């Protein structure tokens, strides 16, 4: 018998409510197959991977159907299996009698609905609607910053089943792409459902610029994982193209620092990723106090000075930075 006679195994969760007994979660099992003259029936088994407990059901195919409908596609619906929230099941579909290699397997995690949410940007809060499942355990929800793991932002909120309102308000400070919601049932080893409301928004990342006047160090450290590059650039005027300074490129994997940088208003940081480029000019945008400086200063390690004055009449040329090979010695921390 060809393994292709078993075409599909479909699993889904349903809720059965029968007052006054209450509600229960059920696993629906459906199969699609091509009828074969040797096939007498189908068997579906569900094993709980945590307890190894197994439940099986079988469906018989009549002899008359096998004779008249050989080669036809047949849809089989099994009786529902009783399951619990957060269970992980391994479901097997086999023929009766069992033919070697003719089997379908599928792993399934029982979820009783996902939380829904809405971001109120004016109040800087995220409103989370916790799923309501009769008989389910309590539910946790939290905000976290997603790096290799998701680190807490604030304290997780526990929603009990007898709570009047199932809406939780979680305040946040910045709309970061790695700011995520996590929700899970209060059961051991519960699988956590996750959503990141601002995952396509990176604007706030480029504002994390610091300047240390003592050692004249300009630094940037991302609040979220970023793939791209950072470089110093020189913008001749408002709205003009910002020209990269040679040897200033750094990977944007972590903290980037440039020592011995003067506070030139036209000196900027350029961030480049697969989604585009962004320019921030911290000394022009008023993020830091800018002391009086020369008409043009260098941004190289160990050098600093004026450019030669313009020769002859006419407008002064736009000041440009003097960059030497010393810039290649700027470290990355």
- Nearest-angstrom CA–CA distance, 6 and 31: 8
DSSP calls for 290-302: -----SS---BTT
Question: What integer is the mean pLDDT of 35-63?
Answer: 88
Q: Using 50, 70 and 90 to split pLDDT, how confident is the model at 15? A: low
Last residue of a domain, one of 195, 217, 240: 195
- Give the tens place of pLDDT for each residue, 80-102: 898 877 688 999 999 888 888 88
What pLDDT is stored for residue 137 in this prediction?
77
Does pLDDT of 293 surpass 60?
A: no
Lowest mean pLDDT among 17-21, 219-223, 282-286, 324-328: 324-328
**Phi-psi label, residue 73: left if phi above 0, alpha if psi -120 to 50, beta otherwise:** beta
Of 86, 109, 132, the last residue of a domain is 109
Domain that holds residue 71: 3-109
Both 270 and 296 in one domain: the answer is yes
Q: Are residues 180 and 235 in the same domain?
A: no
Cβ-contact 9, 3 below 8 angstroms: no
Q: Indicate if 189 and 289 belong to the same structural domain.
A: no
301 compared with 206, residue with greater pLDDT: 206
Mean pLDDT of 170-191: 87
Task: Specify the higher pLDDT residue, 130 or 171.
Answer: 171
Which two three-digit tokens encode residue 124?
A: 């800087």
pLDDT category at 219 given cuts 50, 70, 90 is very high
Please tell me whether residue 190 adopts helix, strand or coil conformation. Answer: coil
d(C-alpha 145, C-alpha 143), whole Å: 7
Q: Are residues 135 and 228 in the same domain?
A: no
Q: 5 to each of 59, 95, 188, 332, how far by Cα in Å? A: 16, 10, 39, 61
Q: Which pLDDT score is estimated for 321?
A: 45
Structural domains of the chain, count: 3
The verdict on 189 and 279 lying in the same domain is no
Q: In percent, how much of the chain has pLDDT > 70?
A: 77
- Same-domain check for residues 23 and 55: yes
> What is the pLDDT at residue 9?
92
């Amino acid at each position: 018998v060809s393994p292709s006679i078993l075409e599909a195994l479909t699993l889904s969760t349903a809720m059965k409510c029968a007052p006054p007994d209450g509600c229960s979660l059920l696993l629906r099992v459906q199969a699609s197959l091509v009828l074969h003259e040797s096939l007498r029936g189908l068997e579906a088994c569900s094993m709980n991977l945590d307890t190894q407990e197994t439940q099986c059901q079988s469906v018989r195919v009549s002899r008359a159907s096998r004779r008249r409908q050989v080669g036809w596609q047949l849809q089989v619906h099994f009786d529902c299996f009783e399951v619990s929230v957060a269970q992980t099941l391994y479901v097997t579909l086999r023929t009766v009698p069992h033919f070697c290699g003719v089997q379908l397997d599928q792993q399934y995690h029982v979820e009783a609905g996902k939380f829904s949410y809405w971001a109120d940007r004016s109040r800087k809060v995220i409103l989370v609607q916790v799923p309501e499942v009769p008989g389910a355990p309590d539910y946790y929800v939290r905000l976290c910053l997603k790096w290799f793991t998701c680190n807490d932002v604030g304290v997780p909120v526990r929603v009990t089943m007898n709570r009047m309102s199932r809406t939780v308000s979680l305040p946040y400070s910045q709309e970061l792409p790695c700011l995520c919601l996590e929700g899970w049932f209060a059961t051991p080893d519960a699988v956590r459902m996750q959503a990141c409301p601002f995952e396509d928004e990176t604007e706030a990342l480029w504002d994390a610029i610091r300047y240390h006047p003592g050692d004249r160090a300009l630094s940037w450290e991302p609040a979220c994982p970023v793939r791209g590059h950072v470089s110093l650039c020189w913008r001749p005027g408002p709205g003009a193209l910002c020209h990269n300074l040679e040897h200033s490129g750094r990977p944007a994997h972590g903290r980037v620092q440039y020592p011995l940088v003067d506070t030139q208003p036209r000196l900027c940081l350029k961030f480049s990723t697969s989604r585009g480029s962004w320019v921030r000019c911290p000394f022009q945008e008023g993020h830091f106090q800018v002391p009086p400086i020369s008409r043009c200063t260098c941004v190289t390690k160990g050098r600093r000075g004026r450019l030669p004055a313009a020769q002859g009449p006419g407008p002064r040329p736009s000041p440009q930075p003097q960059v030497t090979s010393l810039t290649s010695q700027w470290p990355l921390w």
